[in-house]
Chain A
Amino acid sequence: MLPADLKKNLQTKIATVSHPRELVVDVLFDIQMHYGHLTDEAIHEAAELCGMAPVEVEELATFYTFTFREPVGKYVIHVCDSVVCWMNGYQTIREYLCSKLNINMGETTPDGLFTLIPVCCIGYCDRSPAILVNRKVHGSLTPAKLDQLIEKIKMENPAHVE
């Protein structure tokens, strides 16, 4: 169940627009932030908030890149695999991440901290190869930079078990 204050917030936001469904992506993002991913319950809650049928929300949740219908780690790493990153060392970055986290693309680390997902060009080709960590960009990557990044996150989440 959504916490009352989040629900209230969303309702207030929705009340300001003329078509509640125009906010469905925002609502999904906010609910996703709360649950970690979009659970079945989340789909129904979003539908109710936006005055839509659950399947209409499901149609969107399964369409978009940044809505997760399956559990993901606390940190979702989107690795850009489009052409500029591809020519500038995407493969190295990907392999490095996979071996460092010991998971394949599309998987989540057992401690629930990281999920690796390939993603299309994220618009930082000038700083390729680039990745997103929870939608925040990190560019011009090298294995050393990745080490720093991962270690920093691990340090910030010392006792992360799920």
Chain B
Amino acid sequence: MPTLTIDSRQISVPGNTKVIDAAERLGIMIPRFCYHPALGAVGACRVCAVNVKEGPMTGIQMSCMLDAGDGMVISTHDKDAVDFRMAVIEWLMMNHPHDCPVCDEGGHCLLQDMTVSGGHGMRRYPGPKRTHQDQYLGPLVQHEMNRCIQCYRCVRYYREYTGYKDLGVLGIGSRVYFGRTGDGRLESPFAGNLIDICPTGVFTDKPARFKGRKWDFERAATVCTHCSLGCSTITSSRYREIIRQEAGISPDTNDCFICDRGRYGFGYANLPDRPRQYRVNGNPCSRQTAWAKALDLLDTTANTNNPSTVALLVSARCTLETLVTAKHLCHRKGWHGPVWDAPSGNDIKSRNALDALAPELVATMKDVRESDFILAIGTDPVNEAPVLTLALRQAQRNGAHITVIDPRPVSLPFDFEHLPTSPEEMGDQLAAIVCAALGGTDLSHLSPAGKAFYDDLVLRNAAATVPDEIVVALKKSRHPVIVCGTHMVNEDLPVLAGECARMINQPERSAGLFYVLPGANGFGAAMFTETHTNAGLLLDKIKSNDIKTLIAIEPEGCAHVHSSPAMAGILKSLDCLLVMDYLESPLSRAADVFIPTATVFESGGIFINQNGTGRSMQPLYMGGTPIFQTGRTGPPPRLFESDIPGAEHVPAWLPLADWMGLSLSPDNSKRRLEILKYTIENEPWLSALPISGDTGETGIKLRIPNRRLNEFASLPHTRNNAGNSNSPEISLYTVEQTFGTELLSSGSPALDEVIPQIRAAMHPADAEFLNLADGENLTLVLDENHELPCNVKIETDMAQGFIFIPRRPDLPWPVPGFAPIPLHPDQIRREKGDLR
């Protein structure tokens, strides 16, 4: 711990701390442009100069490059240092266009701040300015090269941090240019971070252009709800419209960056056709009418039928408050549910995952970044949990060995090992790698049950072969992490993955376990929905008239397959359909009673991410129809009302609490705390959450009740048998895609342009068998009522016997839950005429 003196104040810092960071600990913010905690120091901009009075090298030094050393005496406000920093700023401003009034960065621009605080207030340089031409970089990021100060952050972020390769630094000297080889959309789904990382207005948020300055916005720290990672975000709204999002900083989660799905996915909250009114039988009505009607219907059904004929459907986009309230409501009323509206089987897989997630194994994204061996199984990071890709990339940059076992054509922006394996065989591969690595090592850390488990695995996988270098890398590793998905896996794989992590968690090696769950609150949904039922069973029960009333709260799959004839038939047999949502869907349109709910931006709420960290959000704004949509932006005369138009929505938990008879305060902010208190007090394992709802920057790690009675209890069955390898059938799997499949963001207009064409990925051998060529149009006949037009994409790096189609909510799926569909070659048709 070297102790040094900065501006006459002493501080002790850990070894390897840079002076710039040591000063920051003292609250001294040394100017910086090129330095960024996530990118490290490169010493390019020279604006962080300080004067070293005592130390191995005295004089002007760059504080970002200088390791804090014992006994150093440093001055940040010494004249030489101040003068030098001022000179640097003057140099940087020589060619700057001084166009702050029309620059979107203005107001939160590091260059503005440094120029003003650095004391460079007058232009001295008499020469001309050099200018650049801008490039078209796609619909999300705007380019304005003249504002560049050549700090190299963008390229270092883009190329080094994320591993994508279509942005570079061109030219030399004072003409260096940061851009692509030509106009074109930035390829990285993390390109939006350029906006945050660029200290000037070169890269700005294109959809948010000219929509406001930082001080115009209502801003709040938020949590991204577009996948299970729960990245930190900062959301800005103005005139009742969400305008933009930036990455928040969360060392345990996203570090400093988010994906473009998360950044631009908020558009659903602003949609002009967002349902903002109560409806009875499809007709707009007052809140009182709808509320009364809902009660009436519920009373009637409860009186005429058994309460178990009422079912409650929830999803992973519900807040924790809603899920817990729903659970207790069901229990109290004897209703069926809550049922998790998840893709087929993902509910069970998620529960299995949580069962296996032993507290000592829980890995965060930080652990992933710092690990030296990663085995990702049944997951496609870029598409299922985008920012996980960046965590893997950091591990890879530090030398970690990375393997992905997955049937899909997984692509990552760096070198890794991909074993394209069918879901049935993934477990064997995993077990074989782990057994091979453990073979001959001391297994005394395992209980007798663990030993037996291991022996059994060895027996079963004696025949499986895996690449040697993976085994060698695992053997060498000290911090391996097993990442496991919950979609492209069979039910037992999450358990096997958990047990494998436990086995390799040896004294000399601390292993981590990282699940990717479905949805933002998949964790909460898995914990608080009923285990003995699921969306498919629910529909069966409706068909068989065992369920007569359905209350759908912010549903996912069910809501969006309703356009299918099968689904319409099923819903007809219901007596009563009650839907609460902030999205319009076929289901909401068919509702007898519709209650508009608040988005998380309006209601706030808690989400539990995939590793059990609870993160709360405060409400950002009141909501209501955006001013630009009300048509009231023109001059008076106007109608003056005290109500906010279109702000009748309520948090989804409010009607539930009401039906349960909870008496909540009429005051919004009070009742938010009341429901939180209720939530926490009624679920003992949530007790770590603060009643104030403030979970802080990093969230609260919840101790997961380890529900598995004994570890290593049962050996999961691996593959039943090779089975259908000879059958001509091909399995169609619906898969996630970065853009276009996640329900909320796929409704965001900003992302429309980046959603790729629908393509059916298949192995060359299958394509050959089916006589299909890459790029060919074809129609998949899913059943008699559902046909899916798409385009062939031949992928060499995937397992044989599958077709992968993006799980887009706007496609005509026959069943909710997007279960795999076996396709006979007859069901695969060329655009014109049958195959063969």
Interface string of B11-55 (1 = CB under 8 A from A): 000000000000000000000000000000000000000000000
Known: A54-B181, A55-B181. A62 touches B172 (CB 8 A): yes
Would you call B170 an interface residue if the criterion is a C-beta within 8 Å of the partner chain's C-beta atoms? Answer: yes
Taking CB as reference atom, which chain B residue is nearest A43? B181
Cα of A40 to Cα of B181 in the assembled complex, Å: 8
Interface string of B147-180 (1 = CB under 8 A from A): 0000000000000000001111111100001001
Known: A40-B181, A40-B182, A43-B181. A55 touches B171 (CB 8 A): no
Known: A40-B181, A40-B182, A43-B181. A53 touches B170 (CB 8 A): no
A:31-59 near B, CB below 8 Å: 40, 43, 53-56, 58-59
Query: A63 to chain B: which residues have CB within 8 Å?
Result: 170-172
Taking CB as reference atom, which chain B residue is nearest A65? B172
Query: B180 to chain A: which residues have CB within 8 Å?
Result: 55
Known: A40-B182, A43-B181. A58 touches B165 (CB 8 A): no
Query: A62 to chain B: which residues have CB within 8 Å?
Result: 170-172, 177
- B172 close to A55 (CB less than 8 A): no
- B166 close to A53 (CB less than 8 A): yes
Query: B165 to chain A: which residues have CB within 8 Å?
Result: 53, 55-56
- B172 close to A56 (CB less than 8 A): no
* A-B contacts, CB under 8 A, total: 30
Cα of A54 to Cα of B187 in the assembled complex, Å: 13
Cα of A34 to Cα of B642 in the assembled complex, Å: 75
Cα of A53 to Cα of B164 in the assembled complex, Å: 9
B169 touches which of A43, A53, A54, A59 (Cβ 8 Å): A59
A:52-89 near B, CB below 8 Å: 53-56, 58-59, 62-63
Cα of A59 to Cα of B177 in the assembled complex, Å: 9
Query: B168 to chain A: which residues have CB within 8 Å?
Result: 53, 55-56, 58-59
Query: A54 to chain B: which residues have CB within 8 Å?
Result: 166, 181
Query: A56 to chain B: which residues have CB within 8 Å?
Result: 165, 168
Interface centre among A40, A56, A58 (most CB of B within 10 A): A58
- Shortest beta-carbon distance, A87 to chain B, in Å? 24
Taking CB as reference atom, which chain B residue is nearest A61? B170
Cα of A37 to Cα of B368 in the assembled complex, Å: 46
Cα of A62 to Cα of B179 in the assembled complex, Å: 12
Cα of A62 to Cα of B165 in the assembled complex, Å: 17
Query: A53 to chain B: which residues have CB within 8 Å?
Result: 165-166, 168
- The interface size bin for chain B is 10 to 19
Cα of A43 to Cα of B166 in the assembled complex, Å: 13
- A58 close to B170 (CB less than 8 A): yes
Cα of A63 to Cα of B168 in the assembled complex, Å: 12
- Shortest beta-carbon distance, A119 to chain B, in Å? 14
Cα of A59 to Cα of B181 in the assembled complex, Å: 9
- Shortest beta-carbon distance, B665 to chain A, in Å? 58
Cα of A58 to Cα of B177 in the assembled complex, Å: 11
Known: A40-B182, A54-B181. A59 touches B166 (CB 8 A): no
Cα of A43 to Cα of B180 in the assembled complex, Å: 12
Query: A59 to chain B: which residues have CB within 8 Å?
Result: 168-170
Known: A53-B165, A53-B166. A58 touches B181 (CB 8 A): yes
- Shortest beta-carbon distance, A37 to chain B, in Å? 15
- Shortest beta-carbon distance, A33 to chain B, in Å? 21
Cα of A62 to Cα of B170 in the assembled complex, Å: 6
Cα of A40 to Cα of B184 in the assembled complex, Å: 14
- Shortest beta-carbon distance, B514 to chain A, in Å? 30
Cα of A43 to Cα of B167 in the assembled complex, Å: 15
Query: A40 to chain B: which residues have CB within 8 Å?
Result: 181-182
Query: A55 to chain B: which residues have CB within 8 Å?
Result: 165-168, 170, 180-181
Query: B181 to chain A: which residues have CB within 8 Å?
Result: 40, 43, 54-55, 58
Taking CB as reference atom, which chain A residue is nearest B172? A63
Interface centre among B165, B167, B168 (most CB of A within 10 A): B168
Query: B167 to chain A: which residues have CB within 8 Å?
Result: 55
Interface centre among B165, B171, B172, B181 (most CB of A within 10 A): B181
Cα of A134 to Cα of B579 in the assembled complex, Å: 77
Query: A58 to chain B: which residues have CB within 8 Å?
Result: 168, 170, 181
Cα of A55 to Cα of B137 in the assembled complex, Å: 14
Interface string of A132-160 (1 = CB under 8 A from B): 00000000000000000000000000000
Taking CB as reference atom, which chain B residue is nearest A52? B165
Interface centre among A43, A53, A55, A63 (most CB of B within 10 A): A55
Query: B177 to chain A: which residues have CB within 8 Å?
Result: 62
Cα of A85 to Cα of B416 in the assembled complex, Å: 54
Cα of A55 to Cα of B181 in the assembled complex, Å: 6
- Shortest beta-carbon distance, B616 to chain A, in Å? 42
Taking CB as reference atom, which chain A residue is nearest B171? A62
- Shortest beta-carbon distance, A21 to chain B, in Å? 13
Cα of A111 to Cα of B509 in the assembled complex, Å: 72
Cα of A55 to Cα of B165 in the assembled complex, Å: 7
Cα of A75 to Cα of B528 in the assembled complex, Å: 77
Interface centre among A40, A43, A56, A62 (most CB of B within 10 A): A62
Cα of A54 to Cα of B181 in the assembled complex, Å: 7
Query: B170 to chain A: which residues have CB within 8 Å?
Result: 55, 58-59, 62-63
Cα of A55 to Cα of B182 in the assembled complex, Å: 9
Taking CB as reference atom, which chain B residue is nearest A47? B181
- Shortest beta-carbon distance, A42 to chain B, in Å? 12
Query: B169 to chain A: which residues have CB within 8 Å?
Result: 59
- Shortest beta-carbon distance, B484 to chain A, in Å? 32
11 further A-B contacts with Cβ under 8 Å, apart from A56-B165, A63-B170, are: A40-B181, A40-B182, A43-B181, A53-B165, A55-B166, A55-B168, A55-B180, A58-B170, A59-B169, A62-B172, A63-B171
Can you list 27 residue pairs at the A/B interface with Cβ under 8 Å?
Answer: A40-B181, A40-B182, A43-B181, A53-B165, A53-B166, A53-B168, A54-B166, A54-B181, A55-B165, A55-B167, A55-B168, A55-B180, A55-B181, A56-B165, A56-B168, A58-B168, A58-B170, A58-B181, A59-B168, A59-B169, A59-B170, A62-B170, A62-B171, A62-B172, A62-B177, A63-B171, A63-B172
Footprint of B on A, CB under 8 Å? 40, 43, 53-56, 58-59, 62-63
A-B pairs with lowest CB-CB distance, top 8: A53-B165, A55-B168, A62-B170, A59-B168, A62-B171, A58-B181, A63-B172, A54-B181
